[in-house]
Structure 1
C-alpha cells in the first residue's frame, strides 16, 4: 500500500503541460484535433458557400422576373412612343430601389439607362465594362459595392434592339453575410479550442491507468513484488484486464524471486559446511606433510586457495539471501567512527604495506552496527588498495553535515568508466577486463559481490554509498551514515 501511495503521489507531481511528440496522448490529441479542425472547417466553408448561393439566388430570381417582363413592356410602350422613349419609359416603370438598368444597341451605343445610374454609382464606366463580360451567377465587387449582374436581349416585333443589363445592389446583404461568416469562424475556432481542451483532459484521464502501470514498472523492486498491486476503479474494461494481467505477472515474479532466494540460501548453507571441512583438511595436510614435492605442494596450495575463495563466495551469497529475506540482524549502537576507521587502516597497512592517510577535524559518533560497518570499510579500502599503484596515495576523509557522518575513500588508481559507475553496486557485475587485470582478479578470484554486499549492509544501517570516478584519475567512494 505504501508503494501504491508513493506511485500515485509521483503521478500527481508529473508536469501535465509537458509535450512529448512520441507519447500516445500527444498523438491521439493531435489526430483528433486535426480531424475536428478539418470537419468544422468543412462545415464552415460549406455553410458560407450555401449562404452566398442563397443570397445570389434570391436576388437573381427578382432580376430574372424583371428581365422577363422588360421586352413586353418595351414592345407595349413602343406602339405609343418612339423606341428610345419607350425604352426609357420601361426602365422607369420596372426600376426598384437598388436596381440599375441600361440598354445598349448592337453597335454598343447607350440607348437608355436608369435615371440615377450616374448619380448612384461613381464607377459607371467600370460597371458597364464588367457587365459586357461573360457573366456567372455570383456576387461581383466593384469598388466598395457588391452587385448581382444580369444580361438579356431586347426584341420588338422580332427585331433585336440590343441588350439590356441589370445590376442589383446587394451591398447591405453582402456585409451582413460577411459579418455572419466572421461570427461563424469565431464560433468554430472557439469550438475547436474547447474540443481540444476537453479531448486533452479526457485522453489524459483515459491513459492515466497506463501511466500508473508504467510508473510502477519503473520503480518496483524485488522487495516490493508482494505488495505491488495495481488498483483501477474507473478505467475501461480493456485497461482493467491489462492491469489484472500485470498483477498476475507481479505475483508470479514474486513467487519466482522468493524461490530463487530460498534456493540460493539453501545451496549456500549446504555447501559451506562441507567446503569448510575440505578447506580445513587441506590446510592440515599442508602443515603436517613434510615429504611433498614442489608440484604436490603447489597443487594443494591452489586447492586451498580456491576452497577459501568459494567459501567466501558462499558466505557472501548467504548474507545477501538473509538480507533479501529480512533475516539479517543489525545491532545498532553509538560508536566513535574515528576509532573504527583507524583500526581498519591499521589492519590494511599491516597486511598490504601501503600507507593510508586519515583526515578528521573532530571526533564523530554514528549509530551503526560495528561489525557490519567494519566489513564495509574493509571492503572499500581494500578496493582502493587493489586498484591503485603502490606509490599512489589513499586518503580517508571524515566529515559531518546535517546530522550525517560522511566517509570519503579516495584513490588515484585506474578509475571506473562512466557507463559502469551506475552498475558497480549490482550483484555479480564486474567492470571491464582492463580493470580486472590491473587488480589481478584472474588470480584473486573477484566475483562481483563485494560492493553489492556493501550497499546492502549500509542500507540496513540507514546509510548509503555513492561513487565518483574518472578513468586514469582515480575514484572516490562516499559513505553517509546517521550521526548519534
Structure 2
C-alpha cells in the first residue's frame, strides 16, 4: 500500500510538473512573439520606421519652431506695450516736476509728480547721488513691496523684466535733471505679474497642444505608411511561398497600390515567367539526357556482366576491374532512373495507379524482397487487424525498399532494421527504424532535399542524395506524408502516414 501511495504521489507531481512546464513554454512563446513584434516596430533598417521618424521629426521641428516663434512674438508684443508706457512716463516726469516746482519747492514738486503718475501697478522712486531715496510712491511704504523693489541693484537703463520672488516687474532707471539741477536717478517699476502668468499659461497650453499635435500627426503618418507598405509586404509573403514547381502559377495582383509598387509587381511577374521557362527547359533537358544515357549504360552494364560470366580466362585484376565497372554502371543507371522519376513528377507526367491495398500483406512482401538483397536482420511488427489504404502498390514498395536501403547504409551490420505497422484513429502509420549513426537536428530539416547527403564519413555505402527526395515525392503524390525523428548515435525513425479507406 505504501508503494502504491508513493507511485500515485509521484504520478501527481509529474502531471503538475508537466502542466507548469507547458504553461512556462506557452508564456515563453508569448514573450518571444511580443519581443519579435517590438523588434519589428523598432527596426531602424525598415523603410517604414525611417520614413515615420524622418517625417515625424520634420513635423516636430516645424510645429515646435512655429510654437516657439509665436511665443517670442507674443512676449515681444506684451513687453513692448509696457516699455512704451514706461518711456512715456520717463519723458514726461521731468516736465511735470518742473511745472509743480513753479509753485512749490523742487523736492515737493517731485513728490507731487510721483503721486500723479503712480498707480497700483506703476511705482516710481527717486534716489539722489548718495543713494538715498528722496521721493517714492505711496505703495512703496508697504513692507512686502518696498523690500522687494527698493533693494534691487543695477537696474538697467532699458526696461527689462525682473523675477522678484515670484512677481514679475518691468524695471528701468534714468538720470533725472530738472532746470539743469541733477536730482539723481529716476526709477520706474511696472508690475506685469498677471500678464506674465497669463502668458506663461498660454505658452504651457500651446506646448501641450503642440506635443499632442505631433503625437497625432506621427500616429497618422505611421498608419498611412504602414498601409502604403502593405503591397510590398504582400509581395514578400508571396515570394516566400513560391516553389520551383509553381513558378508558372505565381502572379502578383495589386489593385490598390502606388504606381511604383505596381511597376515592381509587373517586373517581378515577368521575372517569374522567365524563371518558369528556364526551369521547364532545365527539366526537359534533364529528362532527355537521362533517357538518352540510360539505354547505352544499360547495354554497357549487360555486356560487362556477360563478359564476367563467360570470361573464364580473365585474370583476377581484370575481373576486379570489370566488377568495379559493372557496379559503377549499375549505380549510374540507377541515378539516371531516379532523375527520370523526378523529372516525371516535376512535369506532371508521373501517374499513380491508386488502388486499395492491405498494408499487412504488402509490408510482409517488401520484407521478404529486402532479405533477398541483404544479409541484415529485418523484422516487422504488424497490427492485429488488417489495415487498408488507397495507394500505388508498386510505388509504395519502391518507397519502403528505399527506406530499408537507407537504413542499411547508415547503420552497423550487427544491428537489426525494424518495420512497424499500426493504426491511429483514421490513419495508417508505417515506421522504418534503425539503430545507426542518426541525423543531427540541423540536417533533419534538409534530409528530403534533392542531392543533400549527410556527412560522408558517417555514410557506409555512399549515395546520390536523391533517394529520400524521391521517397517524399512518391509518398506525397499518393496522398500521404513522411517525417523523420532521429538522435545522433541512437538511430532514426522514418514515419509514413496514410489515411484509411
**Which residue in 2 is equivalent to 1:226?**
248
**Which residue in 2 is equivalent to 1:469?**
486
**Which residue in 2 is equivalent to 1:170?**
192
Larger mean CA deviation between 128-137 and 292-301 belongs to: 128-137
Which whole-Å CA distance do the structure 2 matches of 1:105 and 1:52 have between them? 34
Instruction: Name the SS of the counterpart of 2:53 in structure 1.
Output: helix
Which whole-Å CA distance do the structure 1 matches of 2:261 and 2:115 have between them? 78
Q: Is the 8 A contact 1:261 1:324 kept in 2?
A: yes
Which whole-Å CA distance do the structure 1 matches of 2:155 and 2:497 have between them? 93
Could you tell me which runs of 5 or more consecutive residues in structure 2 were left unpaired when the two chains were aligned: 1-35
RMSD of aligned residue pairs (Cα, Å): 2.4
1:227-255 CA distances to partner (integer Å, 9 max, x unpaired)? 21212233333222222221111111010
Q: Is the 8 A contact 2:419 2:432 kept in 1?
A: yes
Instruction: Name the SS of the counterpart of 1:225 in structure 2.
Output: helix
Q: For 1:31, which of 54, 70, 93 is the aligned residue?
A: 54
Larger mean CA deviation between 470-479 and 239-248 belongs to: 470-479
Q: After TM superposition, list the pairs within 5 Å mapping 1:387-406 onto structure 2.
A: 387-401=410-424, 403-406=426-429
Which whole-Å CA distance do the structure 2 matches of 1:290 and 1:262 have between them? 44
Q: Is the 8 A contact 1:333 1:367 kept in 2?
A: yes
**Which residue in 2 is equivalent to 1:189?**
211
The reply to whether residue 268 of structure 1 matches residue 290 of structure 2 is yes
Q: Is the 8 A contact 2:353 2:391 kept in 1?
A: yes
Q: CA deviation at 1:321?
A: 0.5
Which whole-Å CA distance do the structure 2 matches of 1:185 and 1:69 have between them? 40
1:101-122 CA distances to partner (integer Å, 9 max, x unpaired)? 2221221111122112344x72
Which whole-Å CA distance do the structure 1 matches of 2:422 and 2:215 have between them? 58
Which whole-Å CA distance do the structure 1 matches of 2:37 and 2:476 have between them? 31
Q: For 1:306, which of 328, 348, 351 is the aligned residue?
A: 328
Q: For 2:116, which of 82, 93, 111 is the aligned residue?
A: 93
**Which residue in 1 is equivalent to 2:127?**
104
Q: Is the 8 A contact 1:149 1:166 kept in 2?
A: yes
Q: For 1:215, which of 230, 234, 237 is the aligned residue?
A: 237
Instruction: Name the SS of the counterpart of 1:243 in structure 2.
Output: helix
Q: Is the 8 A contact 1:330 1:369 kept in 2?
A: yes
Which whole-Å CA distance do the structure 2 matches of 1:63 and 1:428 have between them? 95
Q: CA deviation at 1:139?
A: 3.0
**Which residue in 2 is equivalent to 1:460?**
477
1:130-173 CA distances to partner (integer Å, 9 max, x unpaired)? 35344765432222322211221211222221112222111221
Q: CA deviation at 1:123?
A: 4.5
1:35-88 CA distances to partner (integer Å, 9 max, x unpaired)? 222222222222222211211111111111111111111222223222332222
Instruction: Name the SS of the counterpart of 2:162 in structure 1.
Output: strand
**Which residue in 1 is equivalent to 2:445?**
422
Q: CA deviation at 1:260?
A: 0.6
Q: 1:399 to 1:63 in 2, by over 3 A?
A: farther
Q: Is the 8 A contact 2:157 2:174 kept in 1?
A: no
The reply to whether residue 80 of structure 1 matches residue 98 of structure 2 is no
Q: For 2:71, which of 21, 34, 48 is the aligned residue?
A: 48
Instruction: Name the SS of the counterpart of 1:122 in structure 2.
Output: helix
Which whole-Å CA distance do the structure 2 matches of 1:220 and 1:451 have between them? 22
Q: After TM superposition, list the pairs within 5 Å mapping 1:280-359 onto structure 2.
A: 280-359=302-381
Q: 1:54 to 1:293 in 2, by over 3 A?
A: same
Instruction: Name the SS of the counterpart of 2:116 in structure 1.
Output: helix
Q: TM-score, normalised by structure 1?
A: 0.89
Which whole-Å CA distance do the structure 1 matches of 2:258 and 2:472 have between them? 42
Q: 1:127 to 1:461 in 2, by over 3 A?
A: farther
Which whole-Å CA distance do the structure 1 matches of 2:85 and 2:164 have between them? 21
Q: 1:310 to 1:53 in 2, by over 3 A?
A: same
The reply to whether residue 483 of structure 1 matches residue 492 of structure 2 is no
Which whole-Å CA distance do the structure 2 matches of 1:359 and 1:106 have between them? 122
1:358-384 CA distances to partner (integer Å, 9 max, x unpaired)? 345554333322221221121122212
Larger mean CA deviation between 360-369 and 145-154 belongs to: 360-369
Q: CA deviation at 1:469?
A: 2.9
Which whole-Å CA distance do the structure 2 matches of 1:100 and 1:173 have between them? 17
Q: CA deviation at 1:320?
A: 0.4
Which whole-Å CA distance do the structure 2 matches of 1:475 and 1:188 have between them? 66
Which whole-Å CA distance do the structure 2 matches of 1:22 and 1:333 have between them? 55
The reply to whether residue 64 of structure 1 matches residue 87 of structure 2 is yes
Q: TM-score, normalised by structure 2?
A: 0.86
Q: Is the 8 A contact 1:104 1:164 kept in 2?
A: yes
> Bigger relative contact order, structure 1 or 2, given CA contacts below 8 A and separation 6+?
1
Which whole-Å CA distance do the structure 2 matches of 1:406 and 1:99 have between them? 101
**Which residue in 1 is equivalent to 2:404?**
381
Q: CA deviation at 1:448?
A: 0.8
**Which residue in 2 is equivalent to 1:411?**
434
Which whole-Å CA distance do the structure 2 matches of 1:250 and 1:351 have between them? 46
Q: CA deviation at 1:17?
A: 9.9
Q: Is the 8 A contact 1:131 1:165 kept in 2?
A: no
Q: CA deviation at 1:353?
A: 2.7
Q: Is the 8 A contact 1:131 1:151 kept in 2?
A: no
